[in-house]
Structure 1
Amino acid sequence: MKREAKYIATVSLGVMGAGFLATLPTAVSSQVWGSFLQGGFEAGVVGGLADWFAVSALFRHPLGIPIPHTALLPNNREKITKALVNTVQNELLSKETIRARLEKIHFLERGLELADKQLDNASLHTGLTALAKHALGAIDIEKLTPLLAEEIHKAIQDVDTSRLVRTLIDSITDNDYDGKTLDFVLDKAAAWVIKADTRDQLGAMAIKAFEGLASNGFMAFAVNAFMGMVNEEKLGGIIQNFVLSYIDQLRMNHHPRRQAVLTFIRNELHKLDRNPQLLAELEKFKTKLPELFDLDAKLTHMLTKLKERGEAFIDQPEFVPVHVVPILRNMLLSIRENQDMLHRGEDWIQEQIASYLEQNHSKIGQLVKENLDKLDNAKLTELMEEKVGSDLQWIRVNGAICGFIIGLGLAGLKMLF
């Protein structure tokens, strides 16, 4: 386009020059139409040459002659650069202009809309899968295990032993574990007492007990008379029935003897959280728990299994669309529906942009200057001519045409007067 305009400008100047030369003989011969045209072509040549000189003087010395006040762009490069930097930085891209424009953009809202549209993108699914696998693979079990074991050990040591005992006791009493334990013991005792061997053992023990009594007189007579009437089986049966009867009473929920036994047990249990010997033993036991359970090995095994299951889970085709995308979409929706959060987010983004703009606005001018400084005079001239040269060439065309028209007018006036 620039070459075409330059060609037209040169042709226009050539036409004016040719017309001027062609009309000279008619002007000399005093022909009216010749003088009229000659005046127009003469003014056209002057206008075309003057505009050619003016346009050329912007970029270089016309005809290479160092005429003062020509080659304005190369000679005033520093001034032009400063003016351009100042115009761009303080007028076209001033802080106020940029800030006012940015305030109209809802960055967070647009970002959420864009993110929501991309959630069903297959490439995004592939990327999220790769990201999840990378994150899972980055877990170093050998380093993580000691840390977890140490934290678990600390947590165990931080447990209030007295409170733990009290909690256990409350759980025992609230769930009637003491009563159930008593019933278990009574069942075992009844199963043992009801045996024939037990009956005989009880009878033998009772006879030995009677035989060992140190008595005389009537007491001795009564004991000997009683021993003559019973044997081990009879005496054992009496004791056996008595014990079974007592056990049956202890099994009845509201029987006074059962309530008395349970009250005694519970009173003793509630004293345990203040028993210094028990608490000291439990404290020692807490320190031995990690070694007792081989905590490091078990944690390593557990974490390895969890990692393998996690990798298998991530490899499933439905991992991202079924499990990840709904979570992300609900998260985006909750943010978009929370107007307060949305406004605070937008305000925060605008504050960050304003802060960044305040700190870096001067770099706009620096960037313009640095880019201009990279160009030598010839390259800068060529660039300017490329951008505005075509319009400047049309100035030459207009100068020649306007000069021709003005010349015709002046020639006409001369003829009239």
Structure 2
Amino acid sequence: MKKEAKYIATVSLGVMGAGFLATLPTAVSSTVWGTFLQGGFEAGVVGGLADWFAVSALFRHPLGIPIPHTALLPNNREKITKALVSTVQNELLSKETIKARLEQIHFLERGLELADKQLDNASLHKGLTALAKHALQAIDLEKLTPLLAEEIHKAIQDVDTSRLVRTLIDTIEDGGYDSKTLDFVLDKAAAWAIKADTRDQLGAMAIKAFEGLQSNGFMAFAVNAFIGMVNEEKIGGIIQNFVLSYIDQMRMKNHPRRESVLTFIRNELHKLERNPQLIAELESLKTKLPEMFDLDEKLAFMLGRLKEKAENFIDQPEFIPVHVVPIIRNMLLSIRENDDMIARGEAWIQDQITAYLEQNHSKIGQLVKENLDKLDNEKLTVLMEDKIGSDLQWIRVNGAICGFIIGLGLAGLRLLF
């Protein structure tokens, strides 16, 4: 386009020059039309040459002659650069202009909308999977295990032993474990007492007890008579029935004997939290627990297994779309529905942009100047000619045409008067 405009400008000047030369003989012969046309072509040549000189003088010395006030762009480069920098920095891209334009943009809302639209993107899913894997692989179990073990050990040592015993006692009472334990013992006692062997053992023990009694007179006669009437089986049966009857009474809810035993058990339990020997034993046990259970080794094994399971879980195709995306989408939705959070977020973003703009606005001018300084005079001239040269060439064309028209008018006036 630039070459075409320059060609047209050159042709227009050449036409004016050729016309001027062609009409010289007619002007000399003083013919009306010859004088009229010669005046137009003469003015067209003057206008074309003047505009050619003016356009050329912007960029270089016309015909290489160092005429004063020519080559304006190279000679006034510093002024032009300063003016351009000032115009861009303080007018076209002033702080107020940039800030006003940025205030019209709702960055947070647009960011949330864009994020929501991209959640179903397969490339994003791959990226999230890779990120999750990288984060998981970055966990150093050799360093993490001792830290966790140390924290667990501290947590165990920080446990209030008396409170722990009291909590256990309360749990036993609230869950009725004292009553359940008594029932368990009674069931075992009943199962033992009902056996025939138990009956015989009880009978034999009773006979021996009677035989060992030291008595005289009538008491001795009575004991011997009683032993003669009963045997181990009979007396064992009597004792067995008594024991089973007693156990049945103990099983009955709210029976005085049962309640008496449970009260005794509960009182003994409540004494435990104030038992210094028990508390000391438990305190000693707390320090030994990590070694007793090989805490470091078991914790390392557990963490390794959890990490392996997590890696396998991440590798599943549905991990991102089924487990991660819904969480992110719900989070984004909750933020978008929270007008107060959106307003505070937008205000924060605008504050950050304003602060960044205040700190770096001067760099706009610096950037323009640095880019201009990279160009030498020749490259800058070529750049300017490339951008505005075609329009300037049309000034030459217009100068030649306007000069021709004005020349015709002046020649006409000269002939008229």
TM-score by length of 1: 0.94
Matches within 5 A, 1:261-300: 261-300=261-300
**Comparing 402-411 and 231-240, the one that deviates more:** 231-240
Specify the code of the residue in structure 2 equivalent to 1:83.
Answer: A
CA distance in 1, matches of 2:212, 2:289: 52
Compute the displacement of 1:60 (Å). 0.8
CA distance in 2, matches of 1:365, 1:216: 131
**Comparing 382-391 and 206-215, the one that deviates more:** 206-215
Matches within 5 A, 1:116-195: 116-195=116-195
Report Cα offsets for 1:18-71 as digits up to 9, x if no partner. 111222222222222222212111111111111111111111111111111111
CA distance in 2, matches of 1:351, 1:254: 75
Compute the displacement of 1:317 (Å). 2.0
Compute the displacement of 1:215 (Å). 4.9
Q: Percent identity?
A: 88
The aligned residue for residue 31 of structure 2 is: 31
Compute the displacement of 1:367 (Å). 0.7
SS of equivalent residue, structure 1 residue 271: helix
CA distance in 2, matches of 1:368, 1:271: 87
The aligned residue for residue 384 of structure 1 is: 384
Compute the displacement of 1:113 (Å). 1.6
CA distance in 2, matches of 1:275, 1:360: 73
The aligned residue for residue 19 of structure 2 is: 19
User: Within the alignment, does 1:324 sit opposite 2:324 as a pair?
Assistant: yes
The aligned residue for residue 69 of structure 1 is: 69
Compute the displacement of 1:377 (Å). 0.5
Structure 1 runs not aligned, ≥5 long: none
CA distance in 1, matches of 2:280, 2:98: 72
Compute the displacement of 1:230 (Å). 4.1
Report Cα offsets for 1:254-294 as digits up to 9, x if no partner. 10010111111112212222222212211111122222222
**Comparing 204-213 and 381-390, the one that deviates more:** 204-213
Matches within 5 A, 1:244-259: 244-259=244-259
Report Cα offsets for 1:159-183 as digits up to 9, x if no partner. 2222221111111111111011001
CA distance in 2, matches of 1:120, 1:204: 86
CA distance in 2, matches of 1:193, 1:120: 73
Compute the displacement of 1:222 (Å). 4.8
**Comparing 128-137 and 4-13, the one that deviates more:** 128-137
CA distance in 1, matches of 2:163, 2:59: 93
CA distance in 2, matches of 1:96, 1:161: 68
CA distance in 1, matches of 2:282, 2:374: 80
User: Within the alignment, does 1:310 sit opposite 2:310 as a pair?
Assistant: yes
CA distance in 2, matches of 1:361, 1:213: 116
Compute the displacement of 1:221 (Å). 5.2
Compute the displacement of 1:74 (Å). 0.7
User: Within the alignment, does 1:111 sit opposite 2:111 as a pair?
Assistant: yes
**Comparing 323-332 and 8-17, the one that deviates more:** 323-332
CA distance in 1, matches of 2:198, 2:102: 97
CA distance in 1, matches of 2:278, 2:228: 52
Specify the code of the residue in structure 1 equivalent to 2:158.
Answer: D
Compute the displacement of 1:333 (Å). 1.8
**Comparing 175-184 and 313-322, the one that deviates more:** 313-322
**Comparing 395-404 and 285-294, the one that deviates more:** 285-294
Report Cα offsets for 1:281-336 as digits up to 9, x if no partner. 11111122222222222222222222222222222222222222222222222222
SS of equivalent residue, structure 1 residue 274: coil
CA distance in 1, matches of 2:201, 2:285: 41
SS of equivalent residue, structure 1 residue 270: helix
Specify the code of the residue in structure 1 equivalent to 2:271.
Answer: K
The aligned residue for residue 53 of structure 1 is: 53
Q: CA RMSD in A?
A: 1.9
SS of equivalent residue, structure 2 residue 273: helix
CA distance in 2, matches of 1:155, 1:226: 68
Compute the displacement of 1:94 (Å). 0.7
TM-score by length of 2: 0.94
CA distance in 2, matches of 1:346, 1:184: 68
User: Within the alignment, does 1:90 sit opposite 2:85 as a pair?
Assistant: no
CA distance in 2, matches of 1:45, 1:397: 11
User: Within the alignment, does 1:368 sit opposite 2:343 as a pair?
Assistant: no
CA distance in 2, matches of 1:276, 1:374: 88
Compute the displacement of 1:226 (Å). 4.3
